[in-house]
């Protein structure tokens, strides 16, 4: 079945710097890669996703890149702000289209 590994588990950056979170997956048939943001006391919320027919997708300060050959995808946040502080989860579907989540990255943006 699908296995998703996420790194790092914690990340601390200075406000204005960039943050990168990386995930690898095992099932080469996976074709959908979402990223969720979980703020303190709330449920996860989708912030961006990418499908396997593209290599990069941007939405303002966030972007996701996908390397299908290497089976990894990354979340890039530029010009980080304190409100970006949260836990971020990557995910990939298994063969039955069930989402398998990574273990999460706690991002802290220092003012």
Partner 1 sequence: EAQVTQNPRYLITVTGKKLTVTCSQNMNHEYMSWYRQDPGLGLRQIYYSMNVEVTDKGDVPEGYKVSRKEKRNFPLILESPSPNQTSLYFCASSLYGGPNEQFFGPGTRLTVL
The residues that touch partner 1, with contacts defined as CB under 8 A, are 6, 9, 31-32, 34, 36, 41-46, 49, 51, 89, 93, 97-99, 101-104
Q: Tell me how far, at minimum, the Cβ of 17 lies from partner 1, in Å.
A: 25
Residues 85 and 65: beta-carbon distance below 8 Å: no
Q: Tell me how far, at minimum, the Cβ of 96 lies from partner 1, in Å.
A: 9
**Among 48, 104, 44, which residue's Cα sits nearest to residue 75?**
48
**Closest CB to partner 1 among 18 and 45?**
45
Peptide bond into 19 cis (omega under 30): no
**Closest CB to partner 1 among 20 and 100?**
100
Q: Tell me how far, at minimum, the Cβ of 46 lies from partner 1, in Å.
A: 5
Query: In sequence order, what are the beta bridge partners of 12?
Result: 108
Residues 38 and 10: beta-carbon distance below 8 Å: no
């Amino acid at each position: 079945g699908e296995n998703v590994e996420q790194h790092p588990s914690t990340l601390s950056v200075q406000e204005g710097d960039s943050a990168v979170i990386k995930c690898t997956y095992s099932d080469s048939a996976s074709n959908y890669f979402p990223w969720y943001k979980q703020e303190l006391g709330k449920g996860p919320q989708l912030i961006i996703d990418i499908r396997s027919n593209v290599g990069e997708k941007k939405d303002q300060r966030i972007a996701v890149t996908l390397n299908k050959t290497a089976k990894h995808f990354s979340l890039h946040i530029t010009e980080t702000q304190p409100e970006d502080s949260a836990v971020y989860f990557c995910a990939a579907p298994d063969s039955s289209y069930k989402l398998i989540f990574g273990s999460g990255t706690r991002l802290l943006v220092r003012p």
